[in-house]
Every structure is written in structure tokens, then in C-alpha cells.
Chain A
Amino acid sequence: MRAMRWLGLATTVLMTVSLYLIFVEVPTEREMGIVQRILYVHAPAAWAAYVCFVLVAVGSVAHLWRGSEHGDRVALAAGEVGVLMCTLNLVTGPIWARPIWGVWWTWDPRLTMTVIMWAIYVGYVMLRAFGRDDDGVARYAAVVGITGVLAIPVIRVSVRMLQGMHPAVTTTREGGSGMADPTMRLTLYLSGIAMVLLAAWLVMLRVRLEALHRSAAVLRRDIEYGLE
């Protein structure tokens, strides 16, 4: 578990650095003011979420193709962490939007897509949770995890066809004004890496937890039915 410890350490260091940058170092953005700083969490959370969703697919494929138990645990963990990150993104978004655009929500393609992805993986996590005792649920979850990832490109294209409620605002999201300053860019990328590392670390922890959980179940079963 040395890898986990190194990862934990790296995450802590990077998160501390990026938090410092976010709250102290980085200059306040001219147009949006202090609220803009939320974007340094909002965007990285989305990136971390997508990394997790890819992990879900990879774990799922490993489980279906090779019967990998580890793959199954990774998929389960990544699903949960992915939902966490996605929720973070969906919560910080409106907090940023309200002071800036005056509205809590807009049907911006990226936001819409994030909601749909959130819904897909919430469903995944629910399937896992409610179907816990059913035989073969790992296989079913793997199928859902794989179809989720396959849907991403199609969802992205289709969501762009929506006209949205404020077409003007799409240009001023994080890509737009304010990212010219190198410190801002540095902060954004550093935060991105920090968030992804955090997600990876949480996934590792969760995988470990699940492995222990399952070992305990096997031991309990052996005791109950007699070791023969």
C-alpha cells in the first residue's frame, strides 16, 4: 500500500499548494470579481469526474472480459467518487452563476451534459447499492458502466443542438476573459491535477475498503457454513 501513501502525500501537497494559490496568490479577475475563484474548483471537479467515468468503463471491461474482481472494485469505487466530483461541479456551478449571470441555472451545453452524466452515474451507484445482494449484479453494473461511457460522445453532440436559455453567456465561461494571466492558468492546471489526484486517492481508498469488505464476507461465510 505504499502507492496509496505516496498518492495521499502527493495529493495533500498539491491540494495545499493549489488552495493557497486560489485564495491568496491568484489575482482577482477584473470582470467577475472574487466569485471567479470558484472556477478553480468547478472545472477541475468536472475533469476529475470524467477521469472517474473512464475508470468505471475500464474496470467494467476488465470485469466482463477477464472476470477481474479488482476491475469490479475499481469500477464501483470510481463510480462513487465520480458522482461525488460531478455533484461538486454541479453545486459550484450555480454558486458561481448566480452573482455573475443573475440566474442559478442555464442550459449551457457543458452544464446540461454534466447533469446527464451525473444522472447516468447516480443510476450506476444506485444499481450497485440496491442490487448488492443479487447474484451477478457486478456484471450488470459493468454493462451500465460501459454503455455510460459509450454515450458520452453522442450526448455531447446532441446537447449542443439545444439552444439554451442564454446563448450569449457561453462565450464568457472559463475559456473566455480572464485566463490570459499566467498565474491564473497555472492555478487552474495545478488545481486540475490536484483534484484528479484527490479523486484517484479516494478511489484507491474505496477499492481497499471494498476489498476488505468482501474478504470479511467470505470469512463470515466460511465460518457459517463450516470450513471443509
Chain B
Amino acid sequence: MSEPDSGTYVVEARGLTREYAGRPVLRGVELQVAGGEVVALLGPNGAGKTTLLRVFALLLRPNAGVLRVMGLDPRREPVRARRHVGYVGHESGCYEDLTAAENLSFHADLHGVGDPVRRVTELLVWAGLKDAAHRPVRTYSRGMQQRLALARALLHAPDLLLLDEPFTGLDRAGRDLLAHLLAALAGDGHTVVLSLHDPTPVAAVVTRAAILHRGRLTWVDGGSGGDPQAVAAAYDRVVGEA
């Protein structure tokens, strides 16, 4: 399959369905995200946000529907498709007995990143972890682990970055630092889909917002993408209905 052209969506989903233990979690989700967009995904707990992100991260297979990442079909070309995605879930995805540097080197190895030593150092500095780089991850604060997870997800320069409730468990300083990093990423033109409870920290950079409720996606219109008031109003409308 040839390389995707500039007109392709970064991620595209049609009729995405996914069950878990007999329960339907995603019911026919439709979504197209173009390059450079920052999409905020909101919804009550259990709405399926984590599931949707993990499907996009190619960690879960949809039971039905079409999914394309950079124009690639992950069922046919799983290895190629995975190169384009970086995922930060609820957990850090890093081994707590290893240091940040060792964790990042391992992932550079897995992804076949060129000039791994330089790249790892680059990301450690970017994430503000240079000083702590040689301590085991177990000793890190929640904020530091989040930034490490983010660095890990960015190591292979993915086109699509997926973040699952990245602000959970962070204190004020941690939130500000993370928001700052995300703004920088958005500014650089990265495509980001992140799930949140409250869009305020990233309101300035969000281009579109959507609400996931009972496995269905509804877009928020009116105002700028991340405008907290427009979002809150839409949220109440969609969720309150049920």
C-alpha cells in the first residue's frame, strides 16, 4: 500500500462497535480527525472513552466497523499502522524498577528509533526529567510518571497522539506543566485526541470537542472548540437527556 497522501485523515472511524464481556461499550462511533487537530473527548465514566482511545491505539479490535489510521487498515498492516500512533493511558506503561532512561531506551529499541541515545536524551530534557533520569520510575511522582509516559509515546514521532484523562491525579503545578507541554505539541502541529472531564486546562488549543455517552459520539458546535461554557452546555444536554 502506498504512503497516505496529505488529504487523508489521521484517524477515521465508521460504525465502530466494541463489546466487553457481553456489554456493548461502543455503538457505531463515527469520527474523522484531520492533521493538526486537537480533539477533546468528554463523557461520564463508563461512557467508553478509554475503550475508544484503546481502539484508536490499536490495542483493541473493534467487533464491527471500519478503522483507518493514516489511511492504513490496521487489520491488514498492523505493524505499519502502529508506527503512527502514540498512546498514554491511565497507567504509565513503564517498568517501575527501571529508570526513565532505561524505559525510553527499551522503547526506542522496540520501535527501531534512529539515533536512540540522542532521541532519548532529547525527550528526557523536554519532559523535564533529565535530573531524575537515573532513578527508578517507582520513585517518581504522579506528574513525573505522566510526563515520562508522554515522552515514551512521543519517542517514535507518531502522527497521532492519544491521551486518556492525562490530568487525573495531578496537582496544580503538574497540571500547568502538562498543559504547557500539550500546548507546545499542538503548536508544533501534532494531532492529538485526549479524553478529559474538564477542558479548561487545554481550552486554548482544542480545535473540536465531542461527547461520548453510552457508546455514541456527539460533536459540540458553537463557540471555539474548547470553550468551556459551550462544552458544559452541550454536555448537560447530551448526558442530561438520558
Direct contact between the two chains A and B in their complex (CB within 8 A): yes
| A residues in contact (CB < 8 Å) with B | 133-135, 217-218, 221, 225, 228
Least Cβ–Cβ distance between A203 and chain B, in angstroms: 24
How many pairs of residues, A versus B, come closer than 8 Å at their CB atoms?
12
1/0 per residue B23-42: CB within 8 Å of A? Answer: 11001000000000000000
- Give 12 A-B contacts (CB < 8 Å), ordered by A residue: A133-B21, A134-B21, A135-B20, A135-B21, A217-B22, A218-B22, A221-B22, A221-B23, A221-B24, A225-B23, A225-B24, A228-B27
With a cutoff of 8 Å between Cβ atoms, the chain B residues found around residue A225 in the complex are 23-24
Q: How many angstroms from the CA of A218 to the CA of B22 in the assembled complex?
A: 7
| Nearest B-chain residue to A225, judged by Cβ | B24
Least Cβ–Cβ distance between A175 and chain B, in angstroms: 50
| Nearest B-chain residue to A217, judged by Cβ | B22
Least Cβ–Cβ distance between A91 and chain B, in angstroms: 37
Least Cβ–Cβ distance between B238 and chain A, in angstroms: 15
Q: How many angstroms from the CA of A135 to the CA of B22 in the assembled complex?
A: 9
With a cutoff of 8 Å between Cβ atoms, the chain B residues found around residue A217 in the complex are 22
1/0 per residue B1-30: CB within 8 Å of A? Answer: 000000000000000000011111001000
Least Cβ–Cβ distance between A224 and chain B, in angstroms: 8
Q: Interface on chain B toward A: helix, strand, loop, or mixed SS?
A: strand
Least Cβ–Cβ distance between B34 and chain A, in angstroms: 29
Least Cβ–Cβ distance between A83 and chain B, in angstroms: 26
Least Cβ–Cβ distance between B25 and chain A, in angstroms: 10
B interface size (C-beta, 8 A) = 6
- Beyond A133-B21, A221-B23, list 6 extra A-B contacts (CB 8 Å): A134-B21, A217-B22, A221-B22, A221-B24, A225-B24, A228-B27
With a cutoff of 8 Å between Cβ atoms, the chain A residues found around residue B21 in the complex are 133-135
| Nearest A-chain residue to B21, judged by Cβ | A135
Least Cβ–Cβ distance between B189 and chain A, in angstroms: 37
Q: How many angstroms from the CA of A228 to the CA of B26 in the assembled complex?
A: 12
Closest 9 A-B residue pairs measured CB to CB? A221-B22, A135-B21, A217-B22, A225-B24, A135-B20, A133-B21, A221-B23, A225-B23, A228-B27
Q: How many angstroms from the CA of A159 to the CA of B23 in the assembled complex?
A: 46
With a cutoff of 8 Å between Cβ atoms, the chain A residues found around residue B27 in the complex are 228
With a cutoff of 8 Å between Cβ atoms, the chain A residues found around residue B24 in the complex are 221, 225
With a cutoff of 8 Å between Cβ atoms, the chain B residues found around residue A218 in the complex are 22
With a cutoff of 8 Å between Cβ atoms, the chain B residues found around residue A133 in the complex are 21
Least Cβ–Cβ distance between A210 and chain B, in angstroms: 14
Q: How many angstroms from the CA of A218 to the CA of B21 in the assembled complex?
A: 11
With a cutoff of 8 Å between Cβ atoms, the chain A residues found around residue B22 in the complex are 217-218, 221
Q: How many angstroms from the CA of A228 to the CA of B23 in the assembled complex?
A: 13
Most chain B CB inside 10 Å of its own CB: which residue of A134, A218, A221: A221
Q: How many angstroms from the CA of A78 to the CA of B23 in the assembled complex?
A: 27
Q: How many angstroms from the CA of A221 to the CA of B27 in the assembled complex?
A: 14
Q: How many angstroms from the CA of A135 to the CA of B21 in the assembled complex?
A: 5
Q: How many angstroms from the CA of A134 to the CA of B21 in the assembled complex?
A: 7
| Nearest B-chain residue to A224, judged by Cβ | B23
| Nearest A-chain residue to B28, judged by Cβ | A228
| Nearest A-chain residue to B242, judged by Cβ | A226
With a cutoff of 8 Å between Cβ atoms, the chain A residues found around residue B23 in the complex are 221, 225
| Nearest B-chain residue to A136, judged by Cβ | B21
Most chain B CB inside 10 Å of its own CB: which residue of A133, A218, A225: A225
Least Cβ–Cβ distance between B69 and chain A, in angstroms: 23
With a cutoff of 8 Å between Cβ atoms, the chain A residues found around residue B20 in the complex are 135
| Nearest B-chain residue to A133, judged by Cβ | B21
Q: How many angstroms from the CA of A228 to the CA of B28 in the assembled complex?
A: 11
| Nearest A-chain residue to B25, judged by Cβ | A225
With a cutoff of 8 Å between Cβ atoms, the chain B residues found around residue A228 in the complex are 27
Q: How many angstroms from the CA of A221 to the CA of B22 in the assembled complex?
A: 7
With a cutoff of 8 Å between Cβ atoms, the chain B residues found around residue A221 in the complex are 22-24
Q: How many angstroms from the CA of A221 to the CA of B24 in the assembled complex?
A: 9
Q: How many angstroms from the CA of A194 to the CA of B161 in the assembled complex?
A: 62
Q: How many angstroms from the CA of A217 to the CA of B20 in the assembled complex?
A: 13
Q: How many angstroms from the CA of A134 to the CA of B24 in the assembled complex?
A: 15
